[in-house]
Amino acid sequence: MNRILVTGGAGFIGSHLCERLLAEGNEVICLDNFFTGRKENLNGLVHDHRFELLRHDVTEPILLEVDQIYNLACPASPVDYQLNPVKTVKTNVMGTINMLGLAKRVRARILQASTSEVYGDPLVHPQTEDYWGNVNTIGLRSCYDEGKRVAETLMMDYHRQNHVDIRIVRIFNTYGERMLENDGRVVSNFIVQALRGDELTIYGDGTQTLSFCYVSDLVDGLIRLMNAEADDIHLPVNIGNPGEFTMNELAEEVAKATGKTIRLKNMPLPEDDPKQRKPNIEKARRLLGWEPKVPLAEGLKKTVEYFAKRVGSSATAN
């Protein structure tokens, strides 16, 4: 049994991770400042004597005795991370420094939740871990993109200089229950709009592509990476679903999952929005024996059921 710290543990991905770690018999400390995390995400965990919830901001130091650290703390949707871009940078940089300092002091293994956004608007397709990216350093999204890139730099420097045992995961678009309904991500946007009978907002002409990984598959990848051993295990690893969908195709899948007739509304593409996003997951297959199992239609059905309850709709998934 490990004593595990999950920063951002009350968030969408973090809460699923806490749940899985407890189910595997670990002690879990969830740390969150509740900027985007929600206490209700942890309702099923708070009465477990192996679970502890701390209200704390990772930009402030903290000393805990733990064996492993999953550093997920950071708003991950453009709506949230652009709301306070300076805070976003501080969370990525100062928060990562604080968690690395903790890992160094107590000799814990630490996993940094990085992002496919480090690839920017990629000129290479699909994206492999050795691609350095095409990122605008001064754009609206750079507080997140560059913040995560600096976090990766810090992880590698602490590993080289202080021999901290690190893992870096580059997370591609993930969806599922407990997403915020107003977070601006395309899956939650489309589902909520469809359930409410609104037009689905498509930015650009709808031909840009993304890849969508269901949250249970992602959590499985995170845990496998944290516990894997290999010579190059400290280098970044892509975790995502290589199935690629245009925004127009995603809208059709949401229509099927909600049982709704949908109407589309096209809007201008936001600044620096990527045109293509698809992970190459050969490294994850080789090092972790991991690949996603949940197809988009199945994951969307579960996600629609969750959102139907939250938005007060009578809609049910097919």
Q: Regarding beta strands 68-71 and 209-211, do their DSSP bridges make them parallel or antiparallel, or are they unpaired?
A: unpaired
Instruction: Give the span between the Cα atoms of 318 and 316, in whole angstroms.
Output: 6
pLDDT of 297 over the 90 cut = yes
Instruction: Give the span between the Cα atoms of 196 and 276, in whole angstroms.
Output: 29
Q: What is the mean pLDDT of residues 58-87?
A: 93
Identity of residue 99? M
Contact present, 254 and 191 (Cβ < 8 Å): yes
pLDDT band at 83 (very low <50, low <70, confident <90, very high): confident
Residue 168: per-residue pLDDT: 98
**How many other C-beta atoms are found inside a 10 Å radius of the C-beta of residue 146?**
22
Residue 142: per-residue pLDDT: 92
Radius of gyration of the chain (CA): 19
Q: Tokens 């805070």 appear where?
A: 87
Query: 175 φ, ψ to 5°?
Result: -140, 165
pLDDT of 313 over the 60 cut = no
Q: What is the mean pLDDT of residues 205-220?
A: 94
Residue 272: per-residue pLDDT: 59
Residue 315: per-residue pLDDT: 42
Query: 42 φ, ψ to 5°?
Result: -105, 10
The tens digit of pLDDT for each residue in 150-185 reads 999 999 999 999 999 999 999 999 999 999 988 888
144 tagged catalytic: yes
The tens digit of pLDDT for each residue in 105-135 reads 999 999 999 999 999 999 999 999 999 999 9
Q: Tokens 């930009």 appear where?
A: 59
Least confident of 31-45, 163-177, 201-215, 280-294: 201-215
% of the chain beyond a pLDDT of 90:
83
Residue 318: per-residue pLDDT: 40
Residue 314: per-residue pLDDT: 41
The DSSP output letter for 40 is: G
The tens digit of pLDDT for each residue in 52-64 reads 999 999 999 999 9
Q: Specify whether the backbone of 197 is left (phi greater than 0), alpha (psi in -120 to 50) or beta.
A: left
pLDDT band at 212 (very low <50, low <70, confident <90, very high): very high
Among residues 186, 182, 212, which one has the least CA distance to residue 201?
186
Which of helix, strand or coil describes residue 302?
helix
Residue of 70, 81, 119, 144 marked active site: 144
Identity of residue 116? S
Q: What is the mean pLDDT of residues 277-303?
A: 96
Among residues 1, 155, 4, 10, which one has the least CA distance to residue 65?
4
The chain-wide mean pLDDT, for the chain, equals 93
Q: Tokens 């969150």 appear where?
A: 32
